[in-house]
Structure 1
Amino acid sequence: MKNRPLRARRVAPLRPAALAVLTFAAVCAAQAQEPMRPLLLAQNARMPSLQDMVVTATRTEQPLSDLVADVSIVDRETIESSGATGLADVLARLPGIEIARNGGLGNATSVYLRGAESRFTAVYIDGVRVDSQSTGGAQWEQIPLSQIERIEVLRGPAAAVYGSDAIGGVIQLFTRKGEGAAMPYVGVGLGNQGTRKLEAGISGVAGADKALDYSLGLAHARSDGFDSKTSGSHNLDRDGYRSTSGHARLGYQINARHKLDATLLASRMDSGYDGFTHKPASPVDDRNLSRLHTAGLNWAARWTEAYSTRVSVTDSSSRYETTPSPYRTETNLRGYLWQNDYRLGAHRFSAALERREDHLNNPALDAWSTTLDRSRSQDALALGYGYQRGGHTLQLNARHDDDSEFGGKGTGSAAYGYAITPQWRATASVGTAFRAPTLYQRFSEYGVPTLRPETSHNAELGLRYAQGRSSFSATVYRNRLSNLILFSGAGPCASTFGCYANVARAQYQGLTLAASHHWAGVQWHGSIDLQNPRDLTTGKQLARRAKRHATFGADTQLAGWTLGAELQASGRRFDSAANTHVLGGYALVNLHASTRVARDYTLLARIDNLGDKAYELARTYATPGRTLYIGLKWAPL
C-alpha cells in the first residue's frame, strides 16, 4: 500500500462564538420539557443517571449527585459503538482531551488533558497505577481497549487525593465485572488495511449465595497498517501491528461486611515504525515491542453503617523495547493503600495511608553507570472532608507525600458547589499538584540528580444544567505550572548533547463548553474547547496542542438500527516548541451503525474519516485515512 501524500488542505477555522451560541441555544430550548437529572455531564457517552457511582473524584464510591468535580463517564456500550481500535481514540472524543500519535496504532501516543503534558495525567487500571519512569506518564499504546469496560475521566488537578502526577487530571480504566447469570460473548471483526479482530469472554456470579463474581476476557487483533511516515528517507513498507490481551477479575463476598477482589490484566503489542537511520540499500523492519501487566488485590470492609475501610496491594510492569535497534526500558511499580471512610449525617471524612515504590530497569543506565540508584519510594498521608446539605456541596482535601529522593511535598484542594435551582448548579475549586522527576530524568547520562518537582496551581469555575435528556456545562480554568522539566542545552550532566533542567513555566488556560439535547428523535451532543496552552517563559504555544478543538455528534434509532454521526475538528497546532513547524487544522466525519441481526447477534459497522482527509497529529507521521470496520458479536440475552 502506498502512503497517501499530504494534501495542502485548510479547513475553515472554528468560530468559537457561533458554536458556543448554538450549543447553548440547543439546551435552553429544552429547559421545561422533562424531569430533573443529576448535574453532571458525561459528554459523548451515555447520559448518567442518579444510580451511577463514580470512584475517581475522591477515591471513594459516590453518586453523581454528590460530586463537584468535572467528570466524564464512558461505558462499554459507547466504546463498542465507537468502533475505535485504540483507547486514545475514544478519549479524543471527550471534552478537554487531545491526542498525538507517531503513526498508526501501537506507536508512541500522547494524551493531553486540558492541554497538560501526557505525564501530568495519573492513570489507573482497576485501581492499579500505571506509569513510566523513563518517558514519564502512561504509555497509552500499551493499554488494550478491548479489555476496558468503563472509563472515568477527572479533569483538573487531583494531587491532594492521588499524589504525584495528577496535574492535569486522572483517568481511571475498569475491566468487566461479573454481574448476574453467566454471560459469555464472542466477537469477530474485519476492516480495511487488513484489520482482523477476535475476542471472547465470560462473566457472571456463582455460588449458592452468589458470593463469587468473575470475569475473563481474551482478545487478539492485527492489521497490515499503512506506511507511518509521510516524507523523508524511510522504509516504504506497511507499519502494521499485532496485539494480544486478556484480563481476569474475581470477587468473593466473605459475608455481608467483607469482600475480596483480585484483578489481572496483560497485554502485548508488536507494531511497526520507521526509524531515523534508514538505509535504502539495506532497509529493516523496525518494530516496537510493548508489554503491560497489572495486578491488584483488594479487601473492602464495612465495620459499621458509618465506617468502612479498604486495603489494596497493587503491582504493574510497563516494558518498551525496539528491534533491531537495541533499546529497552521497563518500569515496575508497587503500591499499598489503606483507605478509611466515615460518614456522619451530611459529613464525610476520609483518611488514607499510601506507599508507592518505583523501579526502573534500563540497560542505558547500566552502560552509563552500575552504581546509580534506580529505585525510589513515596509515603503519603491523605485527608478528606465532604459535606452536602440542601443546595450546598463542599469537598476539602489535603495530602503530604514524602519522597525518598527529594523530601516532603504538600498539596491541597477545595471545591464548592451550589444548586441555584434544581436544574442549575455553579461550582468553584482551587488546588495544587506536583509531578516528581522520573528516575531517567535524574540518573541517566542526561539526568540531573538535583531536579525539583514540577508544581502547579489551578483555579476553575463551572456552570452546569441538567434536565431530562438535556444538559449543558461551561467550565473555565487556569492551571499554572512552575519548574517545568525540559531537555535543554549542555549543563551539569555528563552528556555534552544536553541535559534535563527545570527551565520553564507553563500555563493551561481555557473554556470548555459541552451540551447534549434530545430533539426530533435524535440525541444531539457536542463539546468545544477554547484554550491557550503556552510556555510562559517564551510566550510560545505548547507543541501539538490546538487553541480550538471540538466534537459534535448525533445518534438515533431507525427501523431497528442505532445510527450515529460525528464530527471531530481541530485548529492548527505546532509540532515544535519554537512554533516553527505547523500542523494544519482538520475536520473528520465518522459514521457508525449497529443492529441486532438475530436474538443473540449484534452487527456493528463504522466508517472513520469518511472524507479521507490527510492530516497530521505529529510532523512527518501519517494517519490512517478512511477506515471501514464491520464486526459481529454473539452475546446470549
Structure 2
Amino acid sequence: MYKYLFFGVSLSALALPAMAQDGPNGEEQTRLASDSIERAEDTITVTATGTRIELEDTGQAITIIGEEEIRRVQGPDLTRVLERVPGLTFSRNGGQGGFTGVRLRGSEAEQVLTIVDGVRVSDPASPGGGFDFGNLLSSNLSKLEVLRGSNSTIWGSDAIGGVIVASTRAESGLAASAEYGADDSFTGAASGGIADADTGFLGASASYSRTDGFSAAAGGTEPDGFEQWVLEGHGRYYFSPVFEVFARIRQAEGSLGIDGTPAPDFILADTDDVQDTSQTFGSAGAVYDTGPLFVQASYSFADTSRDNLDGSGAQTFTSEGQSDRLTLRGEWRPIGPLIVNFGAENEWTSYETLFDTGDNTRIFGAYLQAGIEWRGISGHIGARVDDHTDFGSETSFGADLSYEVAENWRLRASIGEGFKAPSLFQLLSDFGNTALTPEESTSMDIGVAYGDRSQALYGSVTAFRRTTQDQIAFIGCFGVTDPICDNRQFGTYDNIARTRASGVEVEAGALVADSLRLQAAYAFTDTENRDTGNELARRPRHAATFTAEWSPLDVLSLGADLRIVSDAFDDAGNFTQLDAYEVMTLRAAFDVTEQIQLFGRVENIWDEDYQTVAGYATRGRAVFVGARLAL
C-alpha cells in the first residue's frame, strides 16, 4: 500500500513543473537517454540489450517494431504484432485474454524475460514464474524490442530464450482510438502528455477492452468473455541538463471467463469459472548523464494477483506474486571508441496461494561488460555473477561482434549464457521440489544483415543454436513409484531434460514502389529433448509471416497479413498433434483529415479452424471497424 502511495505522490510532485509549457511545436524534448520514446522508424536505439546502443553496433539478433507499425496492425491483440518477429511463436488457451505463452527460438514461454516500461513483470506465483501475454494489449504501446538468444550476462535470471521489451506511449499531445467488432468486442484507448524542454514531462494513458468472446473449449458452446482496463502515468523532471528523476506506474484489472475439466468426464468443457487478475507495476529513479558517463539508479516493483471463482462465486484458487528490485546501471566511455557497461541489481520475490502460505527469496547480481565501437567494427564481452539465497552463485558470460563489410552490409555474431532459477511455485507449492537446480543454457548465432527495418530495403539471415541443461518440467505421479513422488500424488517438478534448439531466421522488407511495401519474417526451428529424442511441445518447425502495405492514394492505405505455421506436437510425449494452419487478415485505413482516421479489418478471412493448444478454440472470421484521433 505504501509503495503505491509513494508512486502517486512522486507523479504528482513531477506534474507541477512539467505543466509549465510544451516544447517547440508541442513535441517533447527528451534531453537524457534514460527513457527512449522515439519510434523505431526514427531511431535505431536499442534497450533490449540492457545497455544504450545503436542497432548497428550490436551483434545480437534484435527486431524493433515502432508505433507506426503497431498502429497499422490494428486491434488490441499483441500476438498479431509479435508474429512479425522471426523465431517467435505463441500458444493461447482460447480467445483474447486467455493465457498466452510466447516462445523465442524454441524456448519455453517461461524462459523469455519480459519488461514493460523498464519493469520486469514476471509473476513469481505462476507455475513457471513467467509472464502471461494475454494480459498485455497493444492499445497504447509505442515500441517493441525483441532480443533472441540467451543474455543473462546483462539481465540475469530468466533470459534463456531472449528478452521482450514493451514501451507505452510517452509523448506530448493527445491521441485516442476506438474500435468495435465481432463477438460484441469494443476497445478504447487514450493517451496524452505535456512537456517543457527545460523542465520535464508528465503523461498518462488509459485503455479499456471487452469482448463476449467464444467458448475457450473447442467443443463448447458457452462464450468466454474478457474485460480489462489499464491506467498508466509517467513523469520526469529535469533538475539540470545532466540530472533528472522519473517515476512510472501501471495498474491493470481484468476478468476472464475460463473453461475447465469438470466431473465426471474430466475433459475440457464449458464451465462458469472466472479468473480475475490485478497487476500493478511501477518504477522510480534518477539519471545522471554527462555524455561520457551515464548512471541510472532505480527502484521497481511488480505485483500480480489472481482469483479463480466458480459459478457460485466461491474461490477455487488464488495466488499473489510480488517482486521488488533495486537496480544500478551505468555506461562509461573513458576514451575514444572504448565503452564500459556496469551494473548491479538486488531482487526480492515472494508468493502465496490459496493452498499454501508461500515464501520468499532474494537474488543479487552484478555485471561488467567492455566493448569497442570503432569505424565499422563493434564488439562487446562481459561477465556476470549472481548470488541466489537458495542456490548459491551463478556465473554468466556473453560476447557479440558486428562488422561492416560494405556499406549497409554487416556480419553479426554472438554467444551468450543464460540461467533461470526455479520459481517459488516449483520449489515450495504443493507440487514443489526443493531439490531443483537452475536451468542453464548456451546460445550462439551468426548472420549477415543489410540495413534495418527503418530503411526502404533491409534483410537478414541468422543461423542459431541453443542448448539447455537441467530444464525443469512437470511430471505426473499417478501410479508412479519413484521416490520423488512420495506425498505428491498429483505430480511434481524435476530437472528432467537436456534440450536443443537450432535453426535459421530470415527477415526482409522492400519498398518495391512508392506506394507498396512488402515484408517477410520466417524461421526454421528444430527442437529436441535430448534425453528422449522427442520434439519439444508446441514448437512448430516452420513459422512465417508475410505482410503487404499499399497506399494507392495519399489518404488511403490497404494491408494484408498472412501467417503460416507448420504442424507441431502438443505434448512432451509427441502423442497429440497440432495441425498446420494459414491465417490471413486484410486491413484498410482512410485519413478523413490530418487528425482523424477511419480503419477496419477482417481477421481470419478464410475462417480457418485451427488450434495452438490442443482442445482450445481460436476465433473464426471476424470484422472490426474503428477510428483514431491525434491532436
TM-score, length of structure 2 as denominator length: 0.88
Q: Which amino acid is 1:419 matched to?
A: E
Query: What does residue 494 of structure 1 align with?
Result: 487
Q: Which moved more, 1:264-273 or 1:484-493?
A: 484-493
Q: How does 1:143-542 map to 2 (within 5 A)?
A: 143-179=136-172, 183-206=173-196, 209-231=197-219, 236-277=221-262, 284-302=271-289, 304-324=290-310, 326-343=316-333, 344-366=335-357, 374-466=359-451, 468-490=455-477, 491-492=483-484, 494-521=487-514, 522-542=516-536
Provide the aligned length of Structure 1 versus Structure 2.
574
CA shift for structure 1 position 87: 2.1
Return the match for 1:52 from 44, 48, 58.
Answer: 44
Q: Is the 8 A contact 1:142 1:291 kept in 2?
A: no
Q: Which consecutive residues of structure 1, in runs of 5 or more, have no partner in the other structure?
A: 1-45, 367-371
Q: Which amino acid is 1:194 matched to?
A: D
Q: Which amino acid is 1:450 matched to?
A: A
Question: In 1, Cα distance between the equivalents of 2:629 and 2:401?
Answer: 46
Question: In 1, Cα distance between the equivalents of 2:263 and 2:273?
Answer: 10
SS at match of 1:149: strand
Question: In 2, Cα distance between the equivalents of 1:198 and 1:525?
Answer: 29
Q: Which amino acid is 2:174 matched to?
A: P
Q: Is the 8 A contact 2:87 2:105 kept in 1?
A: yes
Q: Which consecutive residues of structure 2, in runs of 5 or more, have no partner in the other structure?
A: 1-38, 478-482
- CA deviations over 1:309-358 (Å, ceiling 9, x no partner): 11010011112221115111111011111112100210110211110110
Q: Which amino acid is 2:308 matched to?
A: T
Q: Is the 8 A contact 1:144 1:245 kept in 2?
A: no
CA shift for structure 1 position 593: 1.2
Query: What does residue 20 of structure 1 align with?
Result: none
Query: What does residue 11 of structure 1 align with?
Result: none
Alpha carbons of 1:279 and 1:188: their partners in 2 closer, same or farther (altered >3 Å)? farther
Question: In 2, Cα distance between the equivalents of 1:364 and 1:91?
Answer: 35
Q: Which moved more, 1:144-153 or 1:545-554?
A: 144-153
Query: What does residue 546 of structure 1 align with?
Result: 540
SS at match of 2:427: helix
Query: What does residue 91 of structure 2 align with?
Result: 100
Question: In 2, Cα distance between the equivalents of 1:319 and 1:147?
Answer: 23
SS at match of 1:364: coil
Q: Is the 8 A contact 1:143 1:267 kept in 2?
A: no
Query: What does residue 116 of structure 2 align with?
Result: 125
CA shift for structure 1 position 67: 2.1
Alpha carbons of 1:283 and 1:125: their partners in 2 closer, same or farther (altered >3 Å)? closer
CA shift for structure 1 position 63: 2.1
Question: In 2, Cα distance between the equivalents of 1:84 and 1:198?
Answer: 10
CA shift for structure 1 position 386: 1.5
- CA deviations over 1:534-588 (Å, ceiling 9, x no partner): 2111111111110011011111211221111111000001111111111100111
Question: In 1, Cα distance between the equivalents of 2:418 and 2:157?
Answer: 7
Q: Which amino acid is 2:465 matched to?
A: R
Q: Is the 8 A contact 2:58 2:400 kept in 1?
A: no
Q: Is the 8 A contact 1:47 1:469 kept in 2?
A: no
Q: Which amino acid is 1:229 matched to?
A: A
Q: Work out whether 1:79 is the aligned partner of 2:64.
A: no
Q: Which amino acid is 1:309 matched to?
A: V
SS at match of 2:110: helix
Return the match for 1:585 from 566, 580, 584.
Answer: 580
Query: What does residue 7 of structure 1 align with?
Result: none
Return the match for 1:556 from 540, 550, 556.
Answer: 550
Return the match for 1:576 from 571, 574, 591.
Answer: 571
CA shift for structure 1 position 165: 0.4
Question: In 2, Cα distance between the equivalents of 1:494 and 1:347?
Answer: 57
CA shift for structure 1 position 504: 0.7
Question: In 2, Cα distance between the equivalents of 1:195 and 1:604?
Answer: 15
CA shift for structure 1 position 396: 0.9
Return the match for 1:607 from 573, 591, 602.
Answer: 602
Question: In 2, Cα distance between the equivalents of 1:498 and 1:537?
Answer: 20
Q: Is the 8 A contact 2:141 2:166 kept in 1?
A: yes
Q: Which amino acid is 1:485 matched to?
A: I
Question: In 1, Cα distance between the equivalents of 2:263 and 2:620?
Answer: 24
CA shift for structure 1 position 290: 1.3
Question: In 1, Cα distance between the equivalents of 2:360 and 2:395?
Answer: 22
Query: What does residue 30 of structure 1 align with?
Result: none
Question: In 2, Cα distance between the equivalents of 1:614 and 1:283?
Answer: 19
CA shift for structure 1 position 284: 4.7
Q: Is the 8 A contact 1:572 1:584 kept in 2?
A: yes
Q: What is the Cα-based RMSD across aligned positions, in Å? A: 1.9
Q: Is the 8 A contact 1:81 1:604 kept in 2?
A: no
TM-score, length of structure 1 as denominator length: 0.87
CA shift for structure 1 position 84: 3.3
CA shift for structure 1 position 448: 1.2
CA shift for structure 1 position 383: 0.5
Question: In 2, Cα distance between the equivalents of 1:415 and 1:200?
Answer: 40
- CA deviations over 1:135-154 (Å, ceiling 9, x no partner): 22112112232232211111
Return the match for 2:59 from 68, 72, 79.
Answer: 68
CA shift for structure 1 position 278: 6.0
- CA deviations over 1:175-219 (Å, ceiling 9, x no partner): 11134xxx123322111110112222312314xx54121211111
CA shift for structure 1 position 489: 4.5
SS at match of 2:153: helix
Q: Is the 8 A contact 2:426 2:493 kept in 1?
A: yes
CA shift for structure 1 position 397: 1.6
Alpha carbons of 1:619 and 1:305: their partners in 2 closer, same or farther (altered >3 Å)? closer
Higher relative contact order (CA 8 A, sep 6+): 1
SS at match of 1:141: helix
CA shift for structure 1 position 391: 2.1
Q: Which amino acid is 2:141 matched to?
A: I
Q: Which amino acid is 2:187 matched to?
A: K
Q: Is the 8 A contact 1:147 1:246 kept in 2?
A: no
Question: In 2, Cα distance between the equivalents of 1:146 and 1:267?
Answer: 13
CA shift for structure 1 position 62: 1.9
CA shift for structure 1 position 631: 1.0
